[in-house]
Structure 1
Amino acid sequence: MDAMKSMFPSAFEVPTPKGAEGWQDLYPYYTHFLPQRRAQDDATFWFCNSQHWPTPFRPFDTVMLDFAIKGLGQYNTRHLLVPPANGVDYRILNGYVYFSPVAVPGEQIEARVPHFMERAGHYFMNWGDLYANWKDKVLAKIRQLEALNFEALPEVEALEVVTGGVGLDSTNQLFDQYDKAIELAYKIWQHHFEFLNLGYAAYLDFFGFMKGQFPQIPDQAIAKMVQGVDSELFRPDDEIKKLAKLAVASGLAPVFESDSTEVILANLATKAGGKEWLAQWEAAKDPWFNFTSGNGFYSTDKYWIDHLDIPMGYLRDYIQRLQEGDEIMRPTATLLAERDRITAEYREMMDDEAQAVFDGKLGLARTVFPYVEDHNFYIEHWALGVFWRKMRQLSKLLKDQGFWENDDDMFFLNRNEVRDVLWDYSAGWAIGVPYRGTAVWPGEIARRRKIYEALAAESPLPALNNPPEVITEPFTIMLWGITSDAVERWVKSDEDDGALRGMAGSPGVVEGVARVLRSPDQLSELQKGDILVTPVTAPSWAPVFGKIGAAVTDIGGMMSHAAIVCREYGLPAVTGTGNASSRIKTGMRLRVDGNAGTVTILD
């Protein structure tokens, strides 16, 4: 390799996909790689965060990127003063987002330690109370989002507006509600990170202690000591399992042979035991069907509560497996037994002083760790689901006013442009003249849609520029699996020897047939025993985890959802392979070794 040449290309040398010329206009200036900042941006290592954003952005959807990454940064940098880590810088290139964690300069780390101990310590000491308060805050904001309702402006204001001396019109409500929706999404993202970084920090502290005691200890052995979590993120899947068991026990299984959710629900109402079953289905829906088959970050995400055929599909699958005699429950007892065995073995090898420290650090990690998954249900699934539903309502209202052609076209505008359209609508209505935007937006949206489709047809590069000598930023390693070894693997990924290497995400060895999926819409293609190969899994794919043999992802570390969920379901997983989903084709026979972190193509 030429000493002067970067391991990965510079953002400024990456070509624009054919048909996507002008893609930069779709995204805010602060997300661009700016020629004026080239020296700085080329000296920085960027990796593609396809774990959270596996597809390009529609312009409106960058609202989630902005709020999430700003929220992550504020807690590390300004609230908690996490010693080695500030925030994460971000750019958009060809529609995909690239991240660069901002390390704290070595000489400043020490000075931050006492501040972090005091601030994080307050949370750790009062975890139960603060977490209960957190839940109250988030649920209150979900209720506020639920209360929003966008309505078309009236032909004439009601007489009472005049006689009551109100002195204001209906446009205020439109602006107030739109601004409120954006404000609530912003605040909800800040709550998202209020505990999350602490959950990782406590685990990382325990992780570092164990590596200090036993330098050779496998990462997985440490992860096993906190497994067997009863996370609320598993509740939607558990509710579906309960419903499946009730259907079989009540002799209702034949009703579920129909392909139509409406027909199934109508038929149940006429069957013995059907009313009881429907009552349990209704009880499960609120809140547990506020669950997306994606990750909540895109306006295109489909939520169970809006698409009942998604949970019904999982339900029918469970009923069939129960009838075939399968065990559909998570192996929690086995996981807990293995957790306790491993914990006891390592603890015995320590002296009394180390044991006391071990007990404290492990106790804290187990207390805070469930939050790492739980927050996901309340924020990404429930709160954001309501936000997107309200935005779809607004998009349809503006479509009905002639601003665009399709119900969801609003998402091809950014959040500030939407506010301009609300002004155009309000002013045209007030003055009594046609709206200007009806002549502008249909054509502009068609142009942007073409660009978006051209971007989505290309896979992103895994990284840009040269990685640092050693990657030490803890969140980058734990969450995304970006280590010096991983980067080395990406560079050598074309040296095809039939074996791929990644992180040993979850233990076990399995052979089976590959099923490569690029979107949650394809989950129904999975057959029993398939090895799921995908750029990234979402937590909501849990209902298929009882069916597959193993999982392989392109991106993700020990604390990625794929790794955590696979460990909780007792499935082997290899994460962070870099490009398994492009190198492996559906139908290939694979051996997945979740102990060693290797995937072998057998034919």
Structure 2
Amino acid sequence: MTPVPAPPEQIAERAEAFAARAGYYYQNWDAIYAEWKAKVLDRLDLVKGLRFDPLPDREPLETVTGHVGHSAGFRWERDFSLMVSTMYEIYQWHFELLNIGYAAYLTFFEFCKTAFPGIGDKSISQMVGGLHVELYRPDDELKRLAKEAVRLEVGEIILGSDDLTTVLDELRRTAGGTAWAEDWERTRDPWFHINTDPGHPGGSHRFGTWDDHLDIPFGSVQEYIRRLSKEEVIDRPTAEVLADRERIAQEYRDLLSPDDVASFDDMLALARKVFVYIEEHVLYIEHWLWAAFWKKSKELARSLVSMGVLADEEDLFMLRRTEVAELIFDTVAAWSTGAPGRGRAYFGPIIEQRRAVFSVLEAWEPPPALGPPPTEVNEPLTIMLWGITTSSVLGWLEDQDSDDNATILRGVAGSGGVVEGPVRIVRSATELAEVQPGDVLVCPATSPAWAPAFSRVVATVSDVGGIMSHTAIVCREYGLPAVVGTGRAVATLRNGQRVRVDGDAGVVTVLD
């Protein structure tokens, strides 16, 4: 993966090699994807099985009687290295199918742009919509739990308190309530292992998962129960999305010459096939892998604090991975010899300096982009995933000097429709409880952790994202208008402002 262009004299040879390799993947996609899931889950189990308990005062007798032959300190060093290398290995697999999948979609995308001059990006994406993917399973599980609560006649108990512990204690007094409580506990692993980071789903340990913030999934279940009591439909309008995609595809198919229909159908079928992976890989890697990785990292941090090596668990996350390995080595050496380690004295000043830098950066409201603007943006993944285009960059530059930059926001038309509503700014999933029915969700970006909010809002506006971003795709699945890639919606808009979201034109207008 590189933005460096290939030497022109190599392009023909590279294209031939690429076609052969890509063709193999496409012809064997289902089998390769099934194998991909199995090997990722195997490594995920490996990470989840690692242990970073505090180093014992004395090796347990089982180290001797079990002929283990190595110490708890050695296992710390080995397992941290294994955890990091496994993360990198899985990230190799992350990209094994991802770009080849986008290549198939882009081939269909470019064919449509050529065959149907003037076709909108949204129309092309709608032909690939209606995905039945595991990425929506966490929210579907919450809806299932709500329906089970109604079936078991325990909905009133669940709505009786916002304190989950109190509710579970009350539920366990009846057979139906016990069944629901057990169902809730079973569902937590793996469906609550959903990271709440609003930018990159696995990008930071600080945000935690649904399982760390059980009020998020519990509050959503309560909301779904309330809606079911009003006889509202809580399921995604998948049938409508599927009907729309077939209707749109047929309308464009009818415009083609007979010689092009077969090619159109083949490219469309392949784009639909690969796009299941493009969405689902997020669940396996950005959520399940990172949830396990950060959980084990926090386990290590707690042990270092309990042993007096670090002053605070957060200190660990101010260090580079190579420094963590160095700290572990020093800690193990001190533990095994009985001599004092240098960890806290040596790394303490480094950690404090980085904390100061971090706090300044965290308080900063950056502009949409930094550095000299490119003359042209033509890299397809940058355009499709992040909504960074030549026109969007020019728009950001124009907005700096525009008088209407507080009343008009321009972005990418992510999902069609026009609605009006009050702004609700949400920077992380922990703030989703503040979202009220009828709000316009305004956020940096979204992830699957945000899925329950889409049942309450009337539209979504995001700073980041292109036509194939998670926000755009999910809003199309939920039938909500969306304008993505605005660059500065969170910094510009304020809670309660009334806005018009035009998901067809990619424009947000402040009405008051």
Q: Deviations over 1:347-368 (max 9, x none)?
A: 0111111101001100100111
Task: State how 1:498-517 maps to structure 2 within 5 Å.
Answer: 498-517=407-426
| Change in CA separation of 1:188 and 1:476 when aligned onto 2, cut-off 3 Å | same
More helix by percentage: 2
Paired residue for 1:207? 109
Task: State how 1:158-237 maps to structure 2 within 5 Å.
Answer: 158=60, 161=63, 168-237=70-139
| Change in CA separation of 1:106 and 1:330 when aligned onto 2, cut-off 3 Å | farther
| Cα contact 2:216–2:432 (8 A) shared by 1 | no
| Cα contact 1:535–1:555 (8 A) shared by 2 | yes
Shift of 1:195: 1.0
Paired residue for 2:431? 522
Query: SS at 2:211's partner residue?
Result: coil
| Change in CA separation of 1:163 and 1:127 when aligned onto 2, cut-off 3 Å | closer
Paired residue for 1:46? none
Paired residue for 1:459? 365
| Cα contact 1:239–1:284 (8 A) shared by 2 | yes
**TM-score, normalised to structure 2's length?**
0.95
Match of 2:187 among 284, 287, 292: 284
**CA distance in structure 1 between the aligned counterparts of 2:195 and 2:124, rounded to whole angstroms:** 30
Shift of 1:158: 4.3
**CA distance in structure 1 between the aligned counterparts of 2:460 and 2:154, rounded to whole angstroms:** 33
Q: Which amino acid aligns with 1:573?
A: A
| Cα contact 1:396–1:408 (8 A) shared by 2 | no
| Cα contact 1:510–1:593 (8 A) shared by 2 | yes
Paired residue for 2:177? 274
**CA distance in structure 1 between the aligned counterparts of 2:344 and 2:313, rounded to whole angstroms:** 15
Paired residue for 2:216? 310
* 1:428 is aligned to 2:334: yes
Pick which of 190-199 and 543-552 moved more: 190-199
Match of 1:363 among 258, 269, 286: 269
| Change in CA separation of 1:559 and 1:156 when aligned onto 2, cut-off 3 Å | same
Shift of 1:407: 2.6
Task: State how 1:12-411 maps to structure 2 within 5 Å.
Answer: 73=1, 87=2, 101-104=3-6, 108-158=10-60, 161=63, 168-256=70-158, 257-294=160-197, 295-411=201-317
| Cα contact 1:500–1:580 (8 A) shared by 2 | yes
Q: Which amino acid aligns with 1:298?
A: S
Aligned residues: 505
Paired residue for 1:541? 450
**CA distance in structure 2 between the aligned counterparts of 1:379 and 1:209, rounded to whole angstroms:** 31
Task: State how 1:489-504 maps to structure 2 within 5 Å.
Answer: 489-494=395-400, 495-497=402-404, 498-504=407-413
Q: Deviations over 1:261-317 (max 9, x none)?
A: 111111111134212222332332222122122211111131123332221111112
**CA distance in structure 1 between the aligned counterparts of 2:193 and 2:69, rounded to whole angstroms:** 40
| Change in CA separation of 1:250 and 1:584 when aligned onto 2, cut-off 3 Å | same
Match of 1:565 among 428, 452, 474: 474
| Cα contact 2:196–2:428 (8 A) shared by 1 | no
| Change in CA separation of 1:127 and 1:160 when aligned onto 2, cut-off 3 Å | closer
Q: Which amino acid aligns with 1:353?
A: D
**CA distance in structure 2 between the aligned counterparts of 1:592 and 1:288, rounded to whole angstroms:** 32
Paired residue for 2:374? 468
Shift of 1:103: 3.8
| Change in CA separation of 1:106 and 1:562 when aligned onto 2, cut-off 3 Å | farther
**CA distance in structure 1 between the aligned counterparts of 2:236 and 2:471, rounded to whole angstroms:** 15
Q: Deviations over 1:50-105 (max 9, x none)?
A: xxxxxxxxxxxxxxxxxxxxxxx2xxxxxxxxxxxxx2xxxxxxxxxxxxx44445
**CA distance in structure 1 between the aligned counterparts of 2:341 and 2:500, rounded to whole angstroms:** 61
**CA distance in structure 1 between the aligned counterparts of 2:463 and 2:215, rounded to whole angstroms:** 29
| Cα contact 1:539–1:562 (8 A) shared by 2 | no
Q: Which amino acid aligns with 1:327?
A: V
Match of 2:464 among 550, 555, 561: 555
Q: Which amino acid aligns with 2:52?
A: F
Shift of 1:419: 1.0
Unmatched runs of 5 consecutive residues or more in structure 1: 1-72, 74-86, 88-100
Shift of 1:380: 1.1
Query: SS at 2:399's partner residue?
Result: coil
Query: SS at 1:492's partner residue?
Result: helix
**CA distance in structure 1 between the aligned counterparts of 2:394 and 2:11, rounded to whole angstroms:** 27
Query: SS at 1:350's partner residue?
Result: coil
Shift of 1:464: 3.3
Shift of 1:107: 5.4
* 1:485 is aligned to 2:391: yes
